[in-house]
């Protein structure tokens, strides 16, 4: 990893399960100047989700969060910024605050299509569509959870393409 220019992005099960939302997130990632260097789509075990969020052990939301992260596939990506030397801050700015209501208040006067992704698409504080590591040490620790699964990405548009069934014009 390139220190400062790379970060870990995780799209949570609530967003991965919606292909049109996933495509929108991918377009936002690319538009903000990120390259997806490595990625994997994987369903975390409960043990892996607990390891990923071990810094929150003992907090009131911990069990709910780890259950959610193990409830379906996630898309983990090693992102590299082409526009800034602080990829962590850039990814977290694109996401917006993790708390849904804080997000709504903080960005209520901004047109919806210019708001952070979480304000546009979060369902709750737990189902807030994505995760962003908050420090270089956390990027390293969290990336280790996905290391066995991450694969090089040669065509990042393939990560976010819509499945043919969604593109179909059949009405039956």
Which superfamily is assigned to 6-150 in CATH? Nucleoside diphosphate kinase-like domain (3.30.70.141)
Residue range 95-112: mean pLDDT, rounded: 66
More confident residue, 156 or 72: 72
Instruction: Give the Cα separation of 8 and 88 in Å (integer).
Output: 8
User: With 0-12 CB in 10 A as exposed, 13-18 as middle and 19+ as buried, what is 6?
Assistant: buried
- Please list the active-site residues: 131
Judge whether residue 169 has pLDDT over 70: no
Picking from 76-90, 105-119, 155-169, which range would have the lowest pLDDT averaged per residue? 105-119
Report the share of the chain in percent with pLDDT over 70: 76
pLDDT at 21: 86
Report the share of the chain in percent with pLDDT over 90: 52
Judge whether residue 123 has pLDDT over 80: no
Residue range 58-66: mean pLDDT, rounded: 92
Judge whether residue 26 has pLDDT over 70: yes
Three-state DSSP state, 38: strand
Instruction: Give the Cα separation of 84 and 7 in Å (integer).
Output: 12
Say what the pTM is: 0.85
Residue range 150-160: mean pLDDT, rounded: 87
Reported as a pLDDT band with limits 50, 70 and 90, residue 57 is: very high
Top-ranked range on mean pLDDT: pick from 18-22, 77-81, 114-118: 77-81
Reported as a pLDDT band with limits 50, 70 and 90, residue 2 is: low
Are 117 and 25 in contact, with CB atoms under 8 Å apart?
A: yes
Instruction: Give the Cα separation of 156 and 45 in Å (integer).
Output: 26
Residues 6+ apart with CB under 8 A from 69: 12, 13, 44, 49, 52, 53
């Amino acid at each position: 990893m390139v220190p400062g220019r790379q970060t870990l992005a995780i799209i949570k099960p609530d967003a991965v399960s919606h292909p049109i939302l996933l495509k929108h997130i991918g377009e936002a990632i690319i538009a903000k100047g990120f390259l997806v260097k490595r990625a994997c789509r994987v369903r975390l075990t409960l043990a892996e989700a607990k390891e990923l969020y071990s810094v929150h052990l003992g907090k009131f939301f911990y069990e709910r969060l780890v259950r959610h992260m193990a409830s379906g596939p996630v898309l983990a990506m090693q992102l590299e910024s082409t526009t800034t030397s602080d990829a962590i801050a850039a990814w977290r700015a694109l996401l917006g605050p993790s708390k849904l209501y804080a997000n709504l208040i903080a960005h209520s006067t901004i047109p919806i299509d210019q708001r952070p992704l979480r304000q546009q698409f979060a369902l709750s504080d737990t189902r807030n569509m994505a995760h962003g590591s908050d420090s270089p040490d956390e990027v390293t620790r969290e990336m280790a959870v996905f290391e066995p699964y991450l694969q090089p990405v040669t065509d990042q548009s393939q990560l976010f393409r819509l499945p043919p069934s969604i593109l179909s014009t059949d009405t039956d």
